[in-house]
Amino acid sequence: MSLQRTGERHVPIDADVVPSIGVDISNLPLDKTKTVQIKEVGGAMMPLWPTYLKGAAALLYVVDVSDAYQLAASATAFHHLCGLPGMRDKRVLLLWNKTDAPCALRDAETAAFDAARAETALGDALTTMRASALDGSNAQQVMTWIRGVYGV
């Protein structure tokens, strides 16, 4: 998800978002002195996801709610991740993205994702949010969650 505003910085919104294929690494400033590395690991890299979890402080899992065809596959992958030993003691943000797209699935349709199953596996470590890569809505809440992971 592209962040529109993070503190004093302005990061442009990229409305033409496409799925990640490999690994994209970005540095994200949390405040004036602290920066974290974000690794966006695409679905094609799924067999390697557990490797990336080993050094991760948290998992931010983005679900494109404008792509009904991928919802079941995304849910299966997410639930698999939730059960991995590498997920113990990690905070998780399940982010419903593109919620303002004309073809976005309604809440009733995303129920098939079964977030309640993830709550059973992760308990209080799971946070769920809705966001938009198009207009940047809830970008500040996502940044607040990330800062909370790092105690900033």
> Which residue is it, tokens 């969650």?
145
Assigned token pair, 125:
């470590």
Assigned token pair, 4:
């529109």
Strand order in the sheet with 58-64: 58-64, 91-97, 126-130
Q: Distance (Å, rounded) from C-alpha 80 to C-alpha 43? A: 13
- Whether the CB-CB separation of 104 and 66 falls below 8 Å is answered with yes
The amino acid occupying position 27 is N
pLDDT at 13: 43
pLDDT at 3: 37
pLDDT at 104: 74
Q: H/E/C letters for each residue in the chain? A: CCCCEECCEECCCCCCCCCCCCEEEEEEECCCCCEEEEEEECHHHHHHHHHHHCCCCEEEEEEECCCHHHHHHHHHHHHHHHCCHHHCCCEEEEEEECCCCCCCCCHHHHHHHCHHHHHHHHHHHEEEEECCCCCCCCHHHHHHHHHHHCCC
Assigned token pair, 39:
């690794």
pTM over 0.85: no
> All domains of the chain, ordered by start, with CATH?
5-147 (3.40.50.300)
Q: Tens digit of pLDDT per residue, the chain (152 long)?
A: 333 334 444 444 445 556 667 788 899 999 999 999 988 888 788 888 888 888 899 999 988 888 777 888 888 888 888 888 888 889 999 988 877 777 777 776 767 677 777 777 777 888 888 888 778 888 899 999 999 999 88
